[in-house]
Structure 1
Amino acid sequence: MFLKLLSYPRSLLGALLLPIHTVLCSAAMVICNILFNNRKLEDHIVEFWTRNCCRMFNVKVEVKGLENRPEGGFLYVFNHTSFFDIFAMNGWLGSFRFGAKIELFSIPVFGAGMRRAGILPIARNRRDEVFKVYQAAEARIKAGERFALAPEGTRQKTETLGPFKSGPFIFAISAKAPIVPVVVKGAAAIMSKGQLVPNWGVWSRTITLEVLPPVSTEGYTIEDRPVLQEKVRKMMEPYFAVDNF
Structure 2
Amino acid sequence: MFWKMLSYPRSLLGVILLPIHTMFCSLAMVIVNLTIHNRKLEDHIVEFWTRNACRMFGVKVVVKGKENIPAGGCLFVFNHTSFFDIFAMNGWLPSFRFGAKIELFKIPVFGAAMRRAGILPIARERREEVFKVYQAAEARIKAGERFALAPEGTRQKEEKLGNFKSGPFIFAINAKAPIVPVVVKGAAAIMPKHSFLPNWGVWTRTVTIEVLPSVNPLEFSIESRPQLQEKVRKLMEPYFHNTMN
**TM superposition score normalised by structure 2:** 0.98
Where do residues 35-74 of structure 1 align in structure 2 (5 Å cutoff)?
35-74=35-74
Gaps of 5+ in 2: none
Deviations 1:59-107 (CA, angstroms, capped at 9, x unpaired): 0000000001112000000000000010000000010000000000000
| CA-CA distance at 1:126 after TM superposition | 0.1
**Letter of the aligned partner of 1:139 in structure 2?**
A
Partner residue in 1 for 2:108: 108
Moved more, 212-221 or 113-122: 212-221
Partner residue in 1 for 2:119: 119
- C-alpha distance in 1 between matches for 2:5 and 2:72: 47
| CA-CA distance at 1:230 after TM superposition | 0.1
Gaps of 5+ in 1: none
Deviations 1:2-40 (CA, angstroms, capped at 9, x unpaired): 000000000000000000000110000000000001100
Partner residue in 2 for 1:17: 17
Q: Alignment partner of 1:77: what SS? A: strand
Partner residue in 2 for 1:231: 231
Partner residue in 2 for 1:191: 191
**Letter of the aligned partner of 2:162 in structure 1?**
G
Deviations 1:176-197 (CA, angstroms, capped at 9, x unpaired): 0000000000000000000011
Where do residues 190-229 of structure 1 align in structure 2 (5 Å cutoff)?
190-229=190-229
Partner residue in 1 for 2:169: 169
Q: Alignment partner of 2:157: what SS? A: coil
**Letter of the aligned partner of 2:86 in structure 1?**
I
Deviations 1:117-142 (CA, angstroms, capped at 9, x unpaired): 00000000000000000000000000
| CA-CA distance at 1:241 after TM superposition | 1.9
- C-alpha distance in 1 between matches for 2:180 and 2:94: 13
**Letter of the aligned partner of 2:71 in structure 1?**
E
Query: Percent identity, aligned pairs only?
Result: 80
Q: Alignment partner of 1:156: what SS? A: coil
- C-alpha distance in 2 between matches for 1:74 and 1:38: 21
- C-alpha distance in 1 between matches for 2:77 and 2:219: 20
Asked whether the equivalents of residues 10 and 57 of structure 2 are also in contact (C-alpha less than 8 Å), the reply is: yes
- C-alpha distance in 2 between matches for 1:107 and 1:219: 40
- C-alpha distance in 1 between matches for 2:214 and 2:87: 22
CA RMSD of superposed structures (Å): 0.6
**TM superposition score normalised by structure 1:** 0.98
- C-alpha distance in 1 between matches for 2:153 and 2:20: 28
Runs of 4+ in 1 over 3 A off after TM superposition: none
> Are residues 1:139 and 2:164 paired?
no
Number of corresponding residues: 242
- C-alpha distance in 2 between matches for 1:29 and 1:73: 22
Q: Alignment partner of 2:154: what SS? A: coil
**Letter of the aligned partner of 1:224 in structure 2?**
S
Where do residues 68-107 of structure 1 align in structure 2 (5 Å cutoff)?
68-107=68-107
Q: Alignment partner of 1:232: what SS? A: helix
